[in-house]
Structures are given as structure tokens and as C-alpha cells.
Amino acid sequence: MTPRRVNRSPGPAPAPASEGRANPPGLREQRKAQTRRSIQEHALRLFLANGYETTTVAEIAAAAGVSHMTFFRYFPTKEAVVENDEYDPLLVALIEGRPDDEGPLTTLREAIRQGLGLVYAADRDALLVRTRLILHTPALRARMIHNLAATEQLFAQTLAARADSDVTLETRVVAAAALAALTTAITTWAEGNGTPELPNLIDQAFDALGSLGD
């Protein structure tokens, strides 16, 4: 039956306010951002203290002072509360900024190195903690790899666009291989508790990729 809002006002819709617009820093927006951060922080804290599986969404919500329904209004799943997901646009921009005559693997390698450099300087320790949590938790690992697949597609498309061509199998393989190198490096980094440093591992991993043909 869905007693859906029956479009009471026949006018062309008040076009309420928020369209694609950038900045209405109303009170509501602030509270939303704060609630979101609060949920995320409490979740991470509880996960690290008591483990991911044994921590329930209800507990997280209670700790953040909201109902469990509110949790799901902010995060589609329990897993999503751990993700970042803000890196992709940056990486795309970096790829597009590379010289056109560069080989695709070098392009990806340098873009990743630059992008990581930024995160690394600011958040190294947090990144390590989060990565370790994810690697220890099957559900989170699955989710991370799922996101990685999206990134891979994005990389392939960006590479293809830069070369004015369609996405070919070869493009996809390059993107997939680069991300495989990246995840291998990150995994090794987290397993070694942060040594050697990630940028070095990334260099090593991409070197290995580059010499596959020999």
C-alpha cells in the first residue's frame, strides 16, 4: 500500500534547497556530521577493544547515543562504518595529471605513490591500525576488496580515457595488476606492523610487476 506522500502541492515542487550545492552550514548539517563522526569513532573504538564480530550495531548505537535505526541511516551496513572511500577522486586526478607519453603502469605507480604520500604524512598510524583491523576481519576484508574492484574499474576507465581509447582487456589487466601490487604491499606492511615503510614496499612491489616479462 505504501502511503507515499501524495504530492499534495501540485506546483512544480518548491525545489527545497539542497541540490548539488556545496555549503549550507545549517545547524542540522553540523549535527549530522557530528553524529556521523561519533558513530564512526565509537564503532572503531569498540571494534578494536572487543573485536568486530562480537560488537553489535546496537552497542555502537548506544555508545554514540542514538538508536540502532539511526546507525543504519548513516551507514548502509555494519561494515561501511570502517571504510574511507575518499581516495578515489584524488587518485583519478593524479592519474589525469601524469604526462601523456608515459606508460600506463608508470602512470598508476606514480599516481598511487603521490596519493599515498599525502595520506601517509597525515594519517600513517591511523591507517596502520585500520588496515590491521580490516585484515583481521573477514567481513571487512571482503568489503575492502569489493571497493577495490570499483577502484580498478575506475582506473581502467581513466587510463582508457587518457589514451582516447576504449577499455580493453589489456587496460583492465594493467589496472588489476597495479592494484594487486598495491594490496600486496599494504598487506605486507600491516603484517610487519609498519616496517618496512609502505612507500618502500610499494616501490618494491611495482618493481616486481615491471620485471614480470623477463
Partner DNA sequence: CCTCGTAGTGTTATTGACTAACATACGTTA
Partner DNA sequence: TAACGTATGTTAGTCAATAACACTACGAGG
Residue ranges in contact with a second copy by CB under 8 A: 103, 105, 138, 141-143, 145-146, 149, 169-170, 172-174, 176-177, 179-181, 183-185, 187-188, 201, 204-205, 208-214
Binds DNA (CB under 7 A): choice among 50, 67, 84, 168: 67
Nearer to DNA, 55 or 131 (CB): 55
Is residue 116 within 8 Å of residue 175, measured between CB atoms? no
The CB-of-32 to a second copy minimum distance in angstroms stands at: 27
Separation between Cα atoms, residue 169 and residue 196, nearest integer Å: 34
Q: Which does 17 bind (CB under 5 to 8 A by kind): DNA, a second copy, none?
A: DNA
Among 12, 22, 27, 214, binds DNA (CB under 7 A): 27
Toward a second copy, which CB reaches closer, 114 or 188? 188
Question: Which residue's CB is nearer to a second copy, number 46 or number 134?
Answer: 134
Contact 186, 131 (CB under 8 A): yes
Q: Check if the beta carbon of residue 148 is closer than 8 Å to that of residue 156.
A: no
Q: Where are the alpha helices (DSSP H) in 51-168?
A: 57-64, 68-74, 87-97, 104-136, 138-162
List binders of DNA among 98-157 (CB under 7 A). none
Q: Please identify, using beta-carbon distances, which residue of 77 and 165 lies nearer to DNA.
A: 77
Contact region with DNA (CB under 7 A), list: 64-72, 97-105, 114-122, 191-199: 64-72
Peptide bond preceding 25 in cis form (omega within 30 of 0): no
- The C-alpha atoms of residue 200 and residue 63 are separated, in whole angstroms, by 39
Q: How far apart are CB 38 and DNA at their closest, in Å?
A: 9
Overall size of the chain counted in residues: 214
Q: Name the strand (E) or helix (H) holding 203.
A: helix 198-210
Distance of CA 17 to the CA centre of its chain: 29
Q: How far is the CB of 116 from a second copy (least distance, A)?
A: 16
117: its cell numbers: 604520500
Judged by beta carbon distances under 5 to 8 A according to partner kind, the member of a second copy, DNA, none in contact with residue 62 is: none
- Which amino acid is located at 187 in the chain? T
Binding site for DNA (CB under 7 A): 1-5, 8-9, 13-14, 16-18, 24, 26-29, 31-32, 35, 55-58, 65-70, 72-74, 76-79
